[in-house]
Amino acid sequence: MFYLVELVVKAYVAVLKWAVRSVARILLGIRDSLLWAYYTVREKPSRLIGVLSVFIPIVVLIAVGPREWFINWPVMLVTALALYCALKSPLACAPLFLRKLTQVGVATCLVMGWNMLLRWEPLLNALGLTVRDTLYPWLVGLVCFLGSRGVDHPTR
């Protein structure tokens, strides 16, 4: 009985250590990302003006516009493409945490866009399908997405 309690306590401690390390890595990633952004803007202030000139109108449109303007498959796929392009040029030298966060955004937008495309009524009507018939294309897209491997980059 004592051996079982000891195993449970060791497992609990191991999970707590993992959780603390994970939170510490996230906080260090946020710190590194903020420092990178600060020094990048400090080095070249025109970058801040460029970023603000792109994001302020988008934020205003999101705040003012209806939800249907932004939650649809073309916008999701364009957003994924924009995040991917940002990942390849301006964020290429960014800290790992910021790059991983951007990759999660790309993946989320791709999966949501693919899902919305397969449930889009004009496409279903044109092909003579129902929502039930889209299970196999959805699974094929999901398998392709999850099975794809990223290109290994040398250490930066």
Lowest mean pLDDT among 4-8, 39-43, 47-51: 47-51
Claim to verify: residue 39 and residue 73 sit in the same structural domain: no
In a shared domain, residues 116 and 53: no
**Residue ending a domain, choose from 65, 90, 117:** 65
Q: Is residue 152 part of a domain?
A: no
Asked if residue 124 is part of any domain, the answer here is yes
Residue 97 sits in the same domain as residue 31: no
Written as one string, the DSSP assignment of 3-55 is: HHHHHHHHHHHHHHHHHHHHHHHHHHHHHHHHHHHHHHHHH-THHHHHHHHHH
pLDDT-derived band at 152 (thresholds 50, 70, 90) equals: low
Domain end call among 16, 49, 65: 65
Tokens of 137: 């294309």
Closest CA to 33 of 92, 98, 100, 88: 98
Q: What is the pLDDT of residues 92-120, one digit of tens each?
A: 888 888 888 888 888 888 888 888 888 88
Domain shared by 143 and 76, yes or no: yes
User: Structural domain of residue 95, as residue ranges?
Assistant: 67-147
Residue at 153 is within a domain: no
Based on the fold, state whether residues 133 and 79 are members of the same structural domain. yes
Domains held by the chain: number: 2
pLDDT in tens, 116-126: 888 888 877 88
Q: End of a domain among 23, 42, 65?
A: 65
Residue 44 lies in a domain: yes
Q: Quick one: 41 and 80 in the same domain?
A: no
CB 62 within 8 A of CB 125: no
Tell me the pLDDT tens digit for each residue of 20-32.
999 999 899 889 8
Same domain, yes or no, for 88 and 137?
Answer: yes
In a domain, 121, yes or no: yes
Q: Which residue has the tokens 């996230």?
A: 26
- Same domain, residue pair 130 and 72: yes
Same domain assignment for residues 78 and 141: yes
Asked, for residue 51, whether it belongs to a domain, the answer is yes
